[in-house]
Amino acid sequence: MAPPLLERNPDVALHHMHDANQDRLMIARMAYFRLKWLRLPLAYRRFLTERLAPGAPIVLVEDGSAWPVGRVAERHVFQTGARGGLGPEDYLHGSSRMARFQQEQGSSRPAPVAPPADEWAAEAEWGFAPELRDDLASFAARHARPLYRLRLDEPEALSPVVAELERRRRGTDRLLVESFIMLDPVQAGRTGSAPFWTVFAVEHSAAALERYLDATEPYRDIDVLLFNHGVRSAGMAGVDRWSALARRARHRGRLLAVDPDRFPADFASLARFVPLLRREPAGRQPHAGITLTDIADEAARWPGVRLTPNDGR
């Protein structure tokens, strides 16, 4: 499957991702092919040319997440594991957490069988392919548009920046904690909520939320969404951990749309959370947008995120 895909699409790189921890249910029946653009595709070129105001800047979001991979071909790598509850070493070399999870799943192996990794590459799901930046920089120069790089050390690095910007411009005291694909920007905006996005319902994400709550003024209300991936994977943060974070609200803190007794296999929560958000009353709407200066100033307050002009560094 991979060779003809790459032959017909010379502008993409293929990252075959195999996560026997968080994706254990899915990989029994399917393979994960993550594709990354190496050059700006035609649809994006047309959008930037036809829809942006003259001289408007282009902002490129670059996630610096990297992962050890095995090189299969020039534009094809194999990645064992993925960002979430475990690190690369747990998958490639084994660990007590991985061994315990394997045992709980009925496997006699201390770790999944993994091909050796011989280099590092952009992480399959989140990492940014730098070749795209080079092509976009050429496009921006030809069209006399300034190019800015919003660089993240990891996916959640931007979450406190967005939450604080939205909190201030809306004058809101409500926090909506999003989880992976469980997010609805329209309803977050309508209800006047400050969104804080998390990668998954794992301890790393819970710790990121905890650090944010430690650093900001307490919210009156906190709603927490939890993505259900169907297995009690290693590194997962349980409902007690997330409930405790929600209870840091001054007035109301809750887990929204998830049945605690069914987590992490409450798949109906994926269909439940949007209708529940729609029932929430409308919140205060902002009168001003967010400028690049606003983003740069707020990013300077938080680790792992920075907005700079493209200067080749």
- pLDDT digits 0-9 by tens, 25-45: 899 899 999 999 999 999 999
Domain boundary among 113, 136, 152: 152
Q: What is the pLDDT of residue 108?
A: 80
Q: What is the pLDDT of residue 313?
A: 55
- The contacts found for 88-91 with CB under 8 angstroms, 24 or more apart, are 88/117, 90/21, 90/234, 91/19, 91/20, 91/21
Burial string for 99-133 (b: 16+ CB within 10 Å, else e) reads: bebbeeeeeeeebbebeebeeebbbbbbbbbebbb
SS3 assignment, position 163: helix
> Is residue 195 reached through a cis peptide bond, with omega within 30 degrees of 0 on the bond before it?
no
- Whether 95 and 180 map to the same domain: the answer is no
116 belongs to a structural domain: yes
- Whether 241 and 146 map to the same domain: the answer is no
194 belongs to a structural domain: yes
Domain boundary among 126, 152, 178: 152
- Whether 143 and 13 map to the same domain: the answer is yes
- Whether 148 and 160 map to the same domain: the answer is no
- Whether 83 and 166 map to the same domain: the answer is no
What confidence category does residue 2 fall into, taking pLDDT thresholds of 50, 70 and 90?
very high
Give the list of residues 6+ apart from residue 217 with CB closer than 8 angstroms, or none.
Answer: none
Strand partners, 179: 182, 198
269 belongs to a structural domain: yes
Whole-angstrom Cα distance, residue 226 to residue 166? 21
- What pTM was computed for the model? 0.95
| Percent of residues, the chain, with pLDDT higher than 90 | 90
* Domain span at 206: 156-278
Q: What is the pLDDT of residue 107?
A: 86
- pLDDT digits 0-9 by tens, 231-269: 999 999 999 999 999 999 999 999 999 999 999 999 999
CB atoms within 10 A of CB 70: 17
Residue 300 contacts residue 292 (beta carbons within 8 Å): no
Domain boundary among 95, 130, 152: 152
Where are any strands of DSSP class E within the chain?
A: 12-18, 32-37, 58-63, 66-73, 76-80, 119-122, 147-152, 174-179, 194-198, 221-224, 252-255, 305-309
Average pLDDT over residues 9-18: 98
DSSP state, residue 68 = E
